[in-house]
Amino acid sequence: MPPLPQRITYRLAVEQLPGKLADVARAIEEQGAEVVGTDRTSQQRHVVFRDVTVEVRDAEHGDTIAATLVDLPGVELLAITDEVLAAHDHGKIRVEVTREVDGPGDLALVYTPGVAKVCRMIAEDPTAAYRLTIKSNSVAIVTDGSAVLGLGDIGPLASLPVMEGKAMLLKSFGDVDAYPVLIDEQDPDTFVDTVARIASGFGGINLEDIAAPRCFEIEGKLRQRLDIPVFHDDQHGTAVVVLAALMNAAEVTGRELSSLRVVVQGVGAAGVAIINLLRAAGIERIVPVDIDGIVEPTRKGGVDPIRRRVAKQTNPDGLTGGKEVALERADVFIGVSGPETLPLELVKTMADEPIVFALANPTPEIHPDVARGHVGVMATGRSDFPNQINNVLAFPGLFRGLLDAAATAVTDRMKVAAAEGIASIVGDDLAPDYIVPSPFDRSVVPAVAEAVAATARQEGHVRPGSRGSRASEAEAAEQDAAQRAVQRAITRRFSGEDE
């Protein structure tokens, strides 16, 4: 997959002569770039100042355009603005207040002395924090920066733009207040201890970009130690969207979900989570495959503990050998591995109208153009083809639901419910090229949140006494009335009405 085009804006001083702007456009186009906008910002007697926005292939191409403009007679290059850098200028998130402090009365309400009453209430009953503090709507996005996008181990600080982006998505799509928490530590026990010590101010933990197998240990230990949901999006977010897509793909091809024979290629964090969630959804015939072939306990050379556990839980038919054995007559291929690792010849050995999810990014295991005509349903991780498996479909709604229910954990049943919520949005428009909704479909988050919250309540994984546990309306109204009375009393005191 070629690099995504970038937009760069060049601020130019152009001699005010006929044809000069046309010369600029022609010079840019001769370098294989496209002018997508020009804005006249100001002018002087003989010079016009313009911002010329150009779509280029990459940074090097942008430098070539700049050199061309520098050499152009009658044109002076004043500044260069990279669209990507401009979008990240001074960060992408900030803290905002929910009410202004305009005088002594406001200060008394939100700080001393009014805040003391709230502190005492929380000290006596910690569940009060879910109604009276930001804990009820806050998530920590926690990373060590060891497995960032396609960049690998770049460290926590370099990962901050990604974590900010994740916080933006949680806020924009789910109205969840999320904060990047960077932990410069790769020892699992120390990492877990650090997170546990800061977790009390949050309603949930989103683990992000932590390398396998360390991520499995960290997630497991945090789940045991904390009484709030811990969710590793790289594992479970991907699994939820894959399951949603598979539910609809099975319907499109006339299959029952539980009858599918599925090959999962790639037994890393995402692959293991996908296998576990498919099993939770009732799919038993799953064959895990890695670079050495079918993952099974007796394979020559042995397997690591994670693969050994997966091998014991899957492959009920006892298949052994290479990938070609696993794929023969298989209904589904799910790839979370590497580029161009699924030959068309093997796709042709699968069952009729096979379902192929080639999710390696940016280059999938098999290109959709290569697979076209040989598959019943095709999905990738790319936005330029139908059926994009995008985690944005899952995590904003999932956390919205967990917070709404004041959930104490996230379970497989909740994740299956989230997948069902995503799948339901497609409705009557279901088709081979439309098995999951767009990440920008604003009906996704409410559907997922409602499904997750309802399941949390059904399972009893909600905090007693919180609104998520469905306290009676009378109790909630009484608490609200009492709080309003306190606010009025403090306001009268500082406004002089009591004198």
CATH number for 429: 3.40.50.720
Per-residue model confidence (pLDDT) at position 27: 94
| Residue environment code for 408-445, b if the CB has 16+ CB neighbours within 10 A, otherwise e | bbbbebbbbbbbbbbbbbbeeeeebeebbbebeeeebb
383 and 377 Cβ atoms separated by less than 8 Å: no
| Residue 99 lies inside a defined structural domain of this protein | no
- Catalytic residue at 111? yes
The verdict on residue 403 lying in a domain is: yes
Q: Are residues 289 and 366 in the same domain?
A: yes
Do both 420 and 360 map to the same domain?
A: yes
Residue 92 lies in a domain: no
Residue ending a domain, choose from 53, 87, 121: 87
Q: What is the mean pLDDT of residues 208-232?
A: 95
Tell me if 232 sits within 8 A of 210, measured CB to CB.
yes
Domain holding 116: CATH number? Answer: 3.40.50.10380
Per-residue pLDDT at 471: 44
Tell me whether residue 473 is in a domain: no
Residues 177 and 202 in one domain: yes
* Segments in 381-460 forming alpha helices (H): 395-404, 412-426, 444-459
> Over the stretch 261-283, which tens digit does the pLDDT of each residue have?
999 999 999 999 999 999 999 99
* Mean per-residue pLDDT of the chain: 91
Task: Give me the pLDDT at residue 373, please.
Answer: 95
Residues 218 and 254 in one domain: no
- 55, 87, 119 - which closes a domain: 87
Indicate if 241 and 143 belong to the same structural domain: no
In terms of domains, do 265 and 330 share one? yes
Domain contains 414: yes
Q: What is the pLDDT of residue 87?
A: 85
Give a yes or no: residue 476 inside a domain: no
Asked if residue 76 is part of any domain, the answer here is: yes
Statement: residue 474 has pLDDT above 50: no
Same domain assignment for residues 40 and 184? no
Residues 249 and 351 in one domain: yes
Considering 166, 221, 323, 415, which one is annotated as catalytic? Answer: 166
pLDDT digits (tens, 9 = 90+) for 324-358: 999 999 999 999 999 999 999 999 999 999 999 99
Residue 97 lies in a domain: no
Q: By residue range, what is the domain housing residue 294?
A: 235-465
How confident is the model over 232-236, as a mean pLDDT? 94
pLDDT digits (tens, 9 = 90+) for 435-458: 999 999 999 999 999 999 999 999
Same domain, yes or no: 274 and 422: yes
pLDDT at res. 305: 86
376, 353 contact by CB (below 8 A): yes
Note whether 413 and 313 are same-domain residues: yes
Considering Cα of 442, then 447, then 452, then 454, what sign does the dihedral take? positive
Overall average pLDDT of the 275-295 stretch: 96
Residues 159 and 290 in one domain: no
pLDDT at 6: 86
User: What are 392's two structure tokens?
Assistant: 């944005």
Average pLDDT over residues 377-403: 95
pLDDT at 66 over 80: yes
**Among the ranges given (85-94, 171-180, 181-190, 234-243), the one the predictor scored with the smallest mean pLDDT:** 85-94
The yes-or-no answer on residue 166 being catalytic is: yes
Domain end position, chosen among 212, 228, 244 = 228
- Grade residue 472 by pLDDT with cuts at 50, 70 and 90: very low
Report how many domains make up the chain.
Answer: 3
